[in-house]
Each structure stands twice: as C-alpha cells, then as structure tokens.
Amino acid sequence: MARMIYQLRIALDGVDPLVWRRVLVPGGFTLDRLHRVIQYAMGWRDRHLHVFDIDGVQYGVPDPDGLLEVRDELDTRLDAVALKGTRLRYTYDFGDWWEHEIAVEDVVPADPDTRYPMCTGGERACPPDDVGGPEGYRDFLSAYADPAHPDHAAMRAWLGHDFDPSFFDPSPPTTLLRRMT
C-alpha cells in the first residue's frame, strides 16, 4: 500500500487578517510529530504546552501530576484519527491561548520523488511567542508600527529583530521540517 500524505491547512484563530499555513505530512506521523510540524510551519518556538482536540478527545504530553487528562500523543497516528474533511483543534501556550483549526484538505498517495513533510504555502507572519494572545498581538502590532506610540521602543527592544506581519516565506519552515526525518 502506498504511503499516504495529508494536506493540512492550519489557521490561527483570533488574528485578523488570517495567519495560515498549508503543509504536507505523512499520515503515519504521530501527533507529537504533527505538533513539531505545526511549530515549524507557524514559526512558534515550542516553549509552551499544547493539546490537540479531535472529536472531543484531547491528546498531548501526559501530565505527571494528572492535572491535565490527555491521551499520549506519542501513541496516536494522524491517519488513525483523521480523514479527508476532518477538522482538528490545536491549542498552543495555555497562557496566551493560541487556538488553531487544522483542516484535512486532502489525502493523496506520496510522490516517490518528494521529501515530506513540507510547507507549501501560507500567509502572514506568525505572532511572536509570549506576545499575549490575540489581544496582545493586536496591541503589539499597534505599538510596533507607530513610532509615536508610547510602547513603540519597548516593543521593538522586546522583540529584538525586525518584524513584518505581512511577510511569509514557506522555504525556511520546509528546511526545518525536512530535518525531522
């Protein structure tokens, strides 16, 4: 049987205009590997907890204290919980509460001449980690873009590098994703 590739569209909730990515991943990837795909594709730095919600069942890293009941994402393959048309939820950073909708757009046989996973498209830069969720990101963008804003210098110093919220290039995430295999 041919290896199946899942075409996923990952959209970040609560941000306008929309930040999204399209990725191609093997269906045999476990959810912990899908977590890393999302982190690389979106531009997150994997500094916080996360959880998948699939049909009301939560998957993630088991909590040794038992405070968060989740099924172990290491034991669950994407192709065991999703088909074409499935919508999954992914939450990253329980403080900032970044919610993502992941739509399985297609499931196709792997091209033997293509290396997976890969990022094939998307729009807009991902918000920086620890910016304060969707509301904090709106405040950040306002201050960052306006030299007259009282927090402009502080936001630029906090971020430490240039930031263009409208820019996205799928090549760097694909390079990172290829290192996963």
The predicted-structure confidence for 90-141, as pLDDT tens digits, reads as follows: 999 999 999 999 999 999 999 999 999 999 999 999 999 999 999 999 999 9
Q: In what order do the strands lie in the sheet with 4-12?
A: 71-72, 57-60, 50-54, 87-92, 98-109, 4-12, 19-26, 118-123
- In this predicted structure, what is the pLDDT of residue 167? 96
Could you tell me which of 152, 109, 127 has the C-alpha nearest to residue 20?
127
- In this predicted structure, what is the pLDDT of residue 63? 80
The predicted-structure confidence for 33-67, as pLDDT tens digits, reads as follows: 999 999 999 999 999 999 999 999 999 998 877 77
- In this predicted structure, what is the pLDDT of residue 69? 84
The predicted-structure confidence for 135-176, as pLDDT tens digits, reads as follows: 999 999 999 999 999 999 999 999 999 999 999 999 999 999
Q: What is the pTM of this model?
A: 0.94
- In this predicted structure, what is the pLDDT of residue 181? 62
Model confidence at 1, in pLDDT bands (50, 70, 90)? low
Q: Give phi and psi for 13, each to the nearest 5.
A: -75, 150
CA distance 42 to 33: 14
